[in-house]
Structure 1
């Protein structure tokens, strides 16, 4: 019984980490309807930036988070404003092609700079656990869990109760009307994409402390983010919590009873079932 409870704890904490991974994609694809295939590579880039700052300047990875988020925010704004904005009005296939090509470009740049080596960010707390009774709570996953919850609730509040959030949602619904209100849709799209990129950078920092980063894991992270977003509903930040924790628990149970080789198989099975029975996600859409 204790083993099963520990597996559920591991799954919930893994889900907290998955919240951070999926939030950026939920924002760009769900709110702006931009299928960003570079999402996973942005996470990888955030991980490499964190690793570089930690190993070369001895800055603690958690203290690195604002720096990484700022760097990724600027990068995301530039990419959206100078590249993706030109295909916003085009068919979604054009956006897919552009972000796919951009993903390949960024992957090769990362490989050129950091080679093909795998790195892990290993501060002392990354390998420590808190013991509560008979159960273990890995410190880094516990931190990621609370930050993931905070970011999801913060994004929900930002979108629904701030002036900029109102403007972003209005722009996603009707770009023509908001122009008459004095709102620049191109700037708002870039700001939203930049926020998504900043969250991806934070996700990369935690990924590097939990797993190993290498230049080629981007597509896998994009796919996993899409699965999580699809479970909760693509444009609902709060429901990302539900989708991420559900996936974390399913993967933990699969690892225990079937084997780690089959975790991705079960993840994709969930996605197929959701598309078949609940195309808008298990929790529906936020209004």
Structure 2
């Protein structure tokens, strides 16, 4: 039963990881921008949820759409005013630009929020679902907060999938992802598409931060950890696929859960990047990498 319990924990964590990575993969795939700012957006979303809960009493799960909206507007403004000016530059230039923006945002959060770790402590706590109460032979528990966070995260991932498949804006994003120059010739305004895409990535990061806030401590310096996980998930699942981000997140969640059992939780990030290196060597396209973003 121990391994089944660890598998359940990994799946619950993996659903959250998918929401962390799908926005990062979207921006990278469409804009060809490695958005180092993504992890800082996640942390900012978590802080917004923390203060909404402690100051206004708004539950983090209910606040997640509002966090997504705030980060959408911030991402739209950042892309139009800064990143759009270097969008045609080599990848190293855009990488350096987003790195500088991440440093700026991290230091602003340090000044405003201080470096103390904070965490949303739900009152009353959501508790756990003890399956042995219903099935005496099954000694398994499911933390309700992680289950709820995973389900809300999957809703956001599904909404992105629907948007890309069934809306005009989504089809424009997919067209630009496949061939931006052909899309321009067909009348697509790539400047607006880039801004909306970057904003969507920021919105998903903000929502993920809000959903993570009841589970993990919040610190202005935690963005690097989430960014690293987004990198690994994109390589695992394959850049350019919502389903790939979902599969990659689930795989990473399960790997980290079993890795914590066998090697200790302090080595989870080491294990993640070991898998990253192996995949880059043997399967650089990832598990479900494909052209387009659906």
1:23-62 equivalences under 5 Å are 23-62=22-61
Separation (CA, whole Å) in 1 of partners of 2:184 and 2:30: 18
Match of 2:168 among 149, 157, 163: 163
Match of 1:144 among 149, 167, 189: 149
Q: Provide TM-score, normalisation by structure 1.
A: 0.95
Structure 1 residue ranges (4+ consecutive) displaced by more than 4 angstroms after TM superposition: none
Q: Deviations over 1:25-50 (max 9, x none)?
A: 01111233211000000000001111
Match of 1:177 in 2: 182
1:230 and 2:235 aligned: yes
Query: Do 1:152 and 1:240's aligned partners in 2 also have CA atoms closer than 8 Å?
Result: no
1:250 and 2:249 aligned: no
Q: Provide TM-score, normalisation by structure 2.
A: 0.93
CA 42–126 in structure 1, closer or farther in 2 if over 3 Å, else same: farther
Q: CA deviation at 1:284?
A: 2.4
1:121 and 2:134 aligned: no
Q: CA deviation at 1:191?
A: 0.6
Q: Deviations over 1:198-219 (max 9, x none)?
A: 1101111122111101010111
**How many residues align structurally?**
286
More off after superposition, 139-148 vs 269-278 = 139-148
1:82 and 2:81 aligned: yes
Q: Deviations over 1:175-195 (max 9, x none)?
A: 333334332211111111111
1:196 and 2:195 aligned: no
- Structure 2 gaps, min length 5: 133-138
Match of 1:19 in 2: 18
CA 102–240 in structure 1, closer or farther in 2 if over 3 Å, else same: same
- Structure 1 gaps, min length 5: none
Backbone CA RMSD of aligned residues: 1.5
Separation (CA, whole Å) in 2 of partners of 1:176 and 1:283: 25
Q: Deviations over 1:55-114 (max 9, x none)?
A: 111111122112111111100000011110111101010000100000000001111110
Match of 2:289 in 1: 284
Separation (CA, whole Å) in 2 of partners of 1:46 and 1:101: 19
Q: CA deviation at 1:171?
A: 2.0
Q: Deviations over 1:210-241 (max 9, x none)?
A: 11010101111111111011101011101212
